[in-house]
């Protein structure tokens, strides 16, 4: 399960960078759930069902969810199910049948399709800071804290994407396939409708696949919503990390004055810490790079000023990040510099 959830999370982060996947459709994941996230897999281990005094908001999301890795081919075909399909609502047989098939040529391929329903999230993250002492006690009870400090990986689920129905399928060998069949309207609802009445009648697979379906039984309708992805807040000691997607030791900025650039660039980096302001100045010639690491996680108001030295005028670029702990999910920024005198200069933050 760990391997699949890691790959699923990576796939989700192409469009939702702050989210973890819930590959196995773990029902314990809900807004306010207190627990541990394995940074290697994203698997969630529940410690306490809910943070005290919680307020959860919900936002309707009536749309389909469809994620696939490369080399996954999805096909639909009409099938005759008149003799085997019974409408779980009316008990009536009939209606045209539909089979949806996912062909996966490579081991490790993923197909994920759901009928989305809503996103539920904590109304205000300050509730986490208001309960830091209680959270520290829970963390210590499971070996993730001591002396009132909380270790990264322990925290609270802050947002959950829920679906009416759908499936996760992963190929455990080359040239695998998986298919579901049933009434055409029920299959369409299961994979992208909004009624919450999706269902299937049968499944078919070739070779080995890892699969998680909702509803999880044929000829039944979903008994409720299912969580498919979530956001998580953790701590570093007392420091709240609102969008935690992995362990961070410090912030890093990589400056690269690209090969072929003829400008010398003067850099000024500054930021604030609880101990006071910090400032560092240096220059980078074309073809060279420099990494500034060990910027503390409690740093705020990080500012970069880059001045391309000109004969008469110098182009100057500035960037400012007020709260990098909430903005820099990976803890890093890569800044590329380039220009050929006397032509235009370029300053690019690759993550933005």
- Whether residue 133 is contained in a domain is answered as yes
Last residue of a domain, one of 223, 241, 259: 241
Question: 28 phi and psi, to 5 degrees?
Answer: -75, -15
Burial class (CB in 10 A: 0-12, 13-18, 19+), 317: middle
Same-domain check for residues 219 and 278: no
Last residue of a domain, one of 220, 241, 262: 241
- Whether residue 246 is contained in a domain is answered as no
- pTM for the complete prediction? 0.90
Same-domain check for residues 6 and 132: yes
Question: 16 phi and psi, to 5 degrees?
Answer: -130, 80
- Whether residue 315 is contained in a domain is answered as yes
pLDDT at residue 311 in the model: 73
Q: Which CATH number do you get for residue 255?
A: 2.60.40.1430
Q: How many domains does one find in the chain? A: 2
SS (H, E, C) the chain: CHHHHHHHHHHHCCCCCCCEECCCCCCCCCCCCEEEECCCCCCEEEEECCCCCCCEEEEECCCEEEEECCCEEEEEEEECCCCCCECCCCCCECCCEEEEEEEECCCCCEEEEEEEEEEEEECCCHHHHHCHHHHHHHHHHCCCEECCEECCCEEEEEEEEEEEEEEEEEECCCCEEEEEEEEHHHHHHHHHCCCCCCCCCEEEEECCEEEEEECCCCCCCCCCCEEEEEEEEEEEECEEECCCCCCCCCEEEEEEECCCCCCCEEEEEEEEECCEEEEEEEEECCCCEEEEEEECCCCEEEEEEEEECCCCCCEEEEEEECCHHHHCCCCEEEEEEEECCCCCEEEEECCC
pLDDT at residue 231 in the model: 97
- Whether residue 257 is contained in a domain is answered as yes
- Whether residue 284 is contained in a domain is answered as yes
Same-domain check for residues 133 and 200: yes
Same-domain check for residues 80 and 173: yes
- Whether residue 214 is contained in a domain is answered as yes
Q: Name 114's Cβ contacts closer than 8 Å, sequence gap at least 6.
A: 64, 65, 163, 164, 165, 166, 167, 191, 192, 214, 226, 228
CA dihedral (127, 294, 316, 260) in degrees, to 10, reads -130
- Whether residue 183 is contained in a domain is answered as yes
Same-domain check for residues 265 and 198: no
What is the number of other CB atoms lying within 10 angstroms of the CB of residue 71? 12
Same-domain check for residues 175 and 258: no
pLDDT at residue 92 in the model: 52
Last residue of a domain, one of 210, 241, 272: 241
Same-domain check for residues 229 and 105: yes
Q: The tokens of 77 are what?
A: 């075909």
pLDDT tens string for the chain (352 positions)? 458 999 999 999 999 999 999 999 999 999 999 999 999 999 999 999 999 888 999 999 878 899 999 999 999 999 987 655 555 555 555 578 999 999 999 999 999 999 999 999 999 999 999 999 999 999 999 999 999 999 999 999 999 999 999 999 999 999 999 999 999 999 999 999 888 889 999 999 888 999 999 999 999 999 999 999 999 999 999 999 999 999 999 999 999 999 999 999 999 999 999 999 999 999 999 999 999 999 999 999 999 999 999 877 789 999 999 999 988 999 999 999 999 998 999 999 999 9
Same-domain check for residues 189 and 260: no
- Whether residue 136 is contained in a domain is answered as yes
Same-domain check for residues 209 and 257: no
Same-domain check for residues 46 and 159: yes
Same-domain check for residues 179 and 303: no
With contact defined as beta carbons under 8 Å apart, do 284 and 255 qualify? yes
Q: Which domain range does residue 81 map to?
A: 2-241
Same-domain check for residues 275 and 144: no
pLDDT at residue 87 in the model: 55
Distinct helix (H) and strand (E) counts, the chain = 5, 24
């Amino acid at each position: 399960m760990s391997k699949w959830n890691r790959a699923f999370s990576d796939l989700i982060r192409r469009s939702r960078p702050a989210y973890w996947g819930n590959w196995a459709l773990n029902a314990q994941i809900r807004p306010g759930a207190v627990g541990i996230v394995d940074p290697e897999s994203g698997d969630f281990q529940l410690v306490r069902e809910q943070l005290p005094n919680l307020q959860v908001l919900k936002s309707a999301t009536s749309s389909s969810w469809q994620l696939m890795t490369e080399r996954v081919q999805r096909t639909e075909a009409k099938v005759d199910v008149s003799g085997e399909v019974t409408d779980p609502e009316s008990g009536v047989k009939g209606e045209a049948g539909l089979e949806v098939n996912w062909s996966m040529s490579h081991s490790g391929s993923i197909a994920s399709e759901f009928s989305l329903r809503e996103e539920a999230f904590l109304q205000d993250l300050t509730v986490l800071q208001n309960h830091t002492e209680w959270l520290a006690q829970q963390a210590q009870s499971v070996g993730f804290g001591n002396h009132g400090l909380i270790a990264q990986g322990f925290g609270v689920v802050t947002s959950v994407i829920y679906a009416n129905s759908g499936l996760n399928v992963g190929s455990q060998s080359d040239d695998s396939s998986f298919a579901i069949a049933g009434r055409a309207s029920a299959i369409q609802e299961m994979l992208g409708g909004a009624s919450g009445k999706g269902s299937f009648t049968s499944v078919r697979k070739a070779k080995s696949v890892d699969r998680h379906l909702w509803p999880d039984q044929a000829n039944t309708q979903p008994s409720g919503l299912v969580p498919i992805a979530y956001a998580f807040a953790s701590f570093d000691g007392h420091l709240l990390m609102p969008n935690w997607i992995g362990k961070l030791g410090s912030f890093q900025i990589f400056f690269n004055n690209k090969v072929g650039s003829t400008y010398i660039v003067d850099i000024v980096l500054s930021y604030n810490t609880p101990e006071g302001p910090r400032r560092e100045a240096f220059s980078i010639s074309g073809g060279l790079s420099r990494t500034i690491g060990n910027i503390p996680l409690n740093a705020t108001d990080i500012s970069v000023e880059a001045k391309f030295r000109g004969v008469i005028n110098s182009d100057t670029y500035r960037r400012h990040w007020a709260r990098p702990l909430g903005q820099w999910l990976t803890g890093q920024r890569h800044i590329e510099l380039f220009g050929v005198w006397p032509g235009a200069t370029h300053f690019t933050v690759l993550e933005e």
